[in-house]
Amino acid sequence: MGKADRTRQFIVEKTAPIFNKKGFEATSLSDLTKATGLTKGAIYGNFSDKEEIRKEAFNYAMEKVRGLVSEHMMGASTYKEQLIAVVNFYASYVLTPPIPGGCPLLNTAIEADDHDIGMRKRVALELNSTVNFIKSLLDKGVMAGEFKSDIDSKSLAYLFFCSVEGALMFSRAERSSKSMDAVVNHCEKILNQISK
């Protein structure tokens, strides 16, 4: 990685938490220079505008989340254990979000909803990718004989992920993990019910 690439990566890593906490609209150039310790010229010498930095920061945040999900799944030997690990990873956001400010997917989805169609589409791709990942674990569990063959894996994947994301929002607003604990317990009950 050359110096320019390292500088871009540094800017992305330092600004991702700012965008995640404050959102795109509320993040100023001053916030970016303060977070990076770089001048405006140094930042815009590497990026065309704030929007480009935001997109790269979002991509970085999502890559980090995917990597951490994979790490959480490493010790799981069954598809049921892998699904529990995924749910528990998202539950850990309540106390220790991997990117300060909470879930970058949830935060960006809310901010981009009405006025940033490009970012909203990007978020929708990530949401669908995550649901499809959960669905694939359920489908593999069926094929491995762990889960009953008559499950609706797509609906269950939506249920698990939407429940966890909703509980994340609720938990952040209440500053309590009570709702997330309830969702995790319910997801585990469902997994027990669909297990053979």
Q: Provide the pLDDT for residue 113.
A: 77
Q: Provide the pLDDT for residue 116.
A: 86
Q: Provide the pLDDT for residue 115.
A: 80
CA-based radius of gyration for the chain: 19
Q: What is the pLDDT along the chain (196 residues), one digit of tens a residue?
A: 788 889 999 999 999 999 999 999 999 999 999 999 999 999 999 999 999 999 999 999 999 999 999 999 999 999 999 999 999 998 888 888 899 998 999 999 999 877 888 999 999 999 999 999 999 999 999 999 999 999 999 999 999 999 999 999 999 889 889 999 999 999 999 999 999 9
Distance CA 83, CA 77 (A): 11
Distance CA 194, CA 170 (A): 27
What pTM, to 2 d.p., does this model score? 0.92
Check: CB of residue 21 under 8 Å from CB of residue 13.
no
Q: Provide the pLDDT for residue 34.
A: 97
> What are the beta bridge partners of residue 195?
147
Q: Which domains does the chain have, with CATH numbers?
A: 54-194 (1.10.357.10)
Q: Please give the helix or strand (H or E) that residue 68 lies within, else none.
A: helix 50-73
